[in-house]
Chain A
């Protein structure tokens, strides 16, 4: 017995399996038609997920990381040297920002019920919202540049150094250049925008051919993506069917169902 093992009694395990089986059938009944069974299963799934998230955020984030440290030692704001402690930065500051957001929500509710009033409380939410958006955008943009744009450009540049490498590398590099250029050309000046006339007349047949190739490459890429998505979703369906009809045949659920069908 490890901490990872389920502590639920077997009857609960079987009950969960039974409920999962029934609601899987509800969802699959969409094949026949859209009905309240499908919607009921979907709404229940959404509701349970939201409730679980609320409980998880409280038990895994808010209580152990915020409220418990603050309640344990609420006044440890500065150390003996007069410097701010971690308690101030990771305890009181997030709590204050959260309360400001709550103030905006309370003001919104107050206005809905009273119908009027000065919206001064909601302006308090500007600070935490600006902090959230600013930090998120800053981290996202900086990460995209240093984690995706620069490495991918660097990799594309390395293709140019493959002249002295193996022929297969050279071929890969040339194909990459050809297809990337063709796709960009098609998206920029293909049939979608129709402004190919801006190019000099002698170049137009070449550019048209290149854009034609780029268009086919885009179709091919879309086909590959579709094929992988199809494989992914079929795997999910097979796993569900396998669980319901094959892997659990030895479980109490199937024994109950077989006994029910067999009348004894």
Chain B
């Protein structure tokens, strides 16, 4: 007897709970489909029942997800020699049903011929995930392949088909372990057949989220970290401090502002003391960003840093210390020019005014910058500047990064390409300590809340890991 509480997403084919509004795998909107109809069709249909047809206003189903996503094919992990000839790449025979996967018999919209009607246009292929949308929040942009391959026709052979059997099996495992959101299909639908090791228990992660949030709020509310409590000290912070402290007055620092408001909550903590230090030293900053939200984020934080800088730093004219180069489009292709001739790369500032007569730009016309400062939330931004800019102007680099970026760029610190690294809130707090800044009362309280919150979050994480490990061990010992 087949349970009726899940159905396959018409967009990607993944099983979803019946009450789901959006697909847990691809985010497709599911309410536009007739859930009751789909549920009924999830059972073996009676001969006299009409075949389900998607509504016209529903999302357009792909002709066959297995064509565009080979790892969805049930025989994807089988050696080539074991596949029937008719199921080799290029064959049009529908795939047989597989345990744990929606079958075309149960879900007719997955069949290649389900939309075949005399008057309807041929089904359009599923969107290619070449552009995954902004931060993965929206549906992928549908790339019109005909723009680049106008004459292409007929079945195409995927490059994955040429991979060896073991690699295909690994890829399938990699792409097939998406855990469902909110519900546990193995519990709701035993017929689906997910084993205990394939996500059982993970459906309870909402409890983990709730526990984590409650712990954080309690920690923030009763911030009880001792005044001398300090997070772990990572190497590279004192070297960053020394590199900036040794700058002469009026030294030109080229700043890559590679984070935007989505990461500002963490990055501001690390970047603020560094920017304050640069302003204290009287360095001239040329700030550019390759993110649309970068220039505005830079402007806000520099304004905050100026309020925390000394009176001597504040007495300097802002025009002497700061050139806002603004948004620098072009990705990696625009960086070599910035390394070779920054004057040509940044002709105007954010307001569209020519900056050729500014002191920082005049200095860069003859000399390399004294320092490259990279404020990045992604490791790629740091690597790009090391590869494209530093290799041309040989300036030392100080990187201020998210904690998540730290492991990826640590080799550059060891090789000496990055002279100093300040990562995460821990690096920011340590840098502030080196500056011997006297924090305001509100600043001390905020810092204490961050330390306490981190400690509580770690306790919850350790608890979850311990309980999860014990549960896994207990399940493994079950006969």
Contact = CB atoms under 8 A, between A and B. Distances in A.
Pick from A36, A39, A135, A143 the residue with the most CB of B within 10 Å: A143
B415 A238 contact: no
Interface in A8-39: 28, 31-36, 39
Nearest to A112: B144
A78 to B, nearest CB: 19
B258 interface: no
B329 A57 contact: yes
A50 B134 CA distance: 9
Contacts of A155: 411, 414-416
Interface residues of A, number: 75
Contacts of A237: 213, 216, 265
A74 interface: no
Contacts, number: 196
A235 B21 contact: no
A79 interface: no
Interface in B396-444: 402-404, 406-408, 411, 414-417, 423-426, 442
B141 to A, nearest CB: 11
A2 B391 contact: no
A23 to B, nearest CB: 12
A83 interface: no
A225 to B, nearest CB: 5
Interface of B: 20-22, 133-135, 137-138, 144, 147, 150, 166, 170, 181-182, 206, 209-210, 213, 216-217, 220, 263-266, 268-269, 292-293, 295, 299-300, 302-303, 306, 318, 322, 326-327, 329, 331-333, 335-336, 344, 347-348, 350, 352, 383-384, 386-388, 390-391, 402-404, 406-408, 411, 414-417, 423-426, 442, 445-446, 449-450, 453-454, 457, 461
A192 B166 contact: yes
A193 B166 contact: yes
Contacts of B209: 31
Contacts of A56: 292, 295, 327
Interface string A107-150: 01000000000010010010000001001100110011011100
Contact of A144 (B20, B213, B387, B445): B387
Interface stretch (A160-168, A204-212, A242-250, A252-260): A242-250
Given A49-B293, A136-B333, A235-B425, A194 B404 contact: no
B352 A235 contact: no
A246 B327 contact: no
Interface of A: 2-6, 28, 31-36, 39, 42-43, 45-46, 49-50, 52-53, 56-57, 59-61, 63-65, 68, 90, 104, 108, 119, 122, 125, 132, 135-136, 139-140, 143-144, 146-148, 151-152, 154-155, 192-194, 221, 224-225, 228-243, 245-247
A45 B293 CA distance: 12
B350 A60 contact: yes
A10 to B, nearest CB: 16
Contact of A43 (B138, B182, B299, B303): B138
A21 B417 CA distance: 41
B454 A4 contact: no
A135 B388 CA distance: 13
A231 B350 contact: no
Contact of B21 (A32, A36, A238): A36
Nearest to A33: B182
Contacts of A4: 299-300, 302-303, 306, 318, 322
A136 B20 contact: no
Contact of B415 (A35, A49, A68, A154): A154
A106 B263 CA distance: 37
A193 B233 CA distance: 40
B13 to A, nearest CB: 19
Contacts of B402: 232
Contacts of B424: 228, 231-232, 235
A12 to B, nearest CB: 15
Given A34-B22, A43-B137, A235-B424, A242 B302 contact: no
Contacts of A61: 327, 329
A75 B106 CA distance: 68
Nearest to A149: B387
A2 B306 contact: yes
29 contacts: A4-B300, A4-B302, A5-B303, A28-B213, A31-B213, A34-B20, A46-B133, A56-B295, A63-B352, A104-B147, A122-B147, A139-B333, A139-B335, A139-B336, A140-B332, A143-B336, A143-B388, A147-B388, A151-B415, A231-B454, A232-B404, A233-B404, A234-B216, A234-B457, A235-B403, A235-B425, A239-B264, A242-B220, A246-B449
Pick from A42, A122, A139, A146 the residue with the most CB of B within 10 Å: A139
Contacts of B390: 147
